[in-house]
Structure 1
């Protein structure tokens, strides 16, 4: 190893010699183990609603940082997420068509949905001529925004009854136990459900 003089470098110099025969007189120092980063799920939110509220709050703060007069609320964030989910299933040529009421681009009221399922289960159904022909059928009660409020898996006829079909389905999803009777609701259903008994049930529920 050549000798290094102070003229060869500027400032202080640390020389490290790497050789198999090199032995240090200093005592060995135990190295600390490498600390691994452990990823844990964030548990500061006790409910999904608190997550939405936090997103709305962060959105307002971000708008203030950018100098934009912008207000966003929890309902706005929920509708935005719903629109993102809708865009994954509904294809339209322009985003403005999501709010359109035209017959060729609007979304009709959905009272039942088909979940794709190819396993072996007694509730699996096959309906020819549908976009999803094989799967499990679910009766759905939704808001006007399309958000599912109450779901009920179709498991076939449970017993002999003379009640009309629509009345049986409405009672099975038990909508009267979850809606607030002080508010005025507008319930929509087509001729597939409509019957005198169903209208009587809805009237008794004061909807």
Structure 2
């Protein structure tokens, strides 16, 4: 079945490459930020300006595209301040931007930029209400070609933000400590299919822990045939019940797993495993639910769970003398190592 699935995915990728091979980077960008997205921003920005008695403000799609292009440019060409891009000083001036639009006009568009009708906010408990329509459109456009990767990864990321917002998070130990916490389902090479901004504890009653809810909700948003894909995630998300539930839904799934989430699986304990030689392992297989739990000794002890993988394979690693050593181990390790 694996070879059949791989063939289906490869054919899907070939069709996509053929349909997009003549597209420039700008054309590809406009496949995601299409006319529907531009119309949403233009209409709601003008409506927002009117609601704040700035009735003279008007804009259109070409001007909005110029505005977005400047934002993209300033993302990698950084100057001390926004105003500096229109400076007359030789060491600061950027004619490319100054020739596109004036500083005051750029500030005016930025001041009125909006993605939703604020009059609809009353009664909404969604902390990301102002961004939700834009996020939904971008996710829809990201999935317009279907899911054309076999291996999918679900993880979290931080979107840097230092302002005030009820959804802003502080996570100690992260490279970006302040900002929006985002969940994302991506391909193994980084293409983002769907995402969601974490808005704090949900009011909905659920027996599933947060990690399980995130995985299930992201997969539910994708136009996906479960049996065609393998889902990988880390120990924040993985638990025994999630692997079982995904198997019932048809997904093949593998992830690192915390010791207290293995449903008391009787594999060798972490303390004993630390004394074992590198690449030594122990595992248990649940024949009823077809879930395997593996505890493996690398530089540290790693515990992994899978609802589909139970075949032996091998892995090559460097020992302390920098010699390459081949060691038998379960393919659950070699597959996850690659991913």
Same fold (TM over 0.5): no
TM-score (norm 1): 0.45
TM-score (norm 2): 0.28
The structure in which a higher percent of residues are strand is: 2
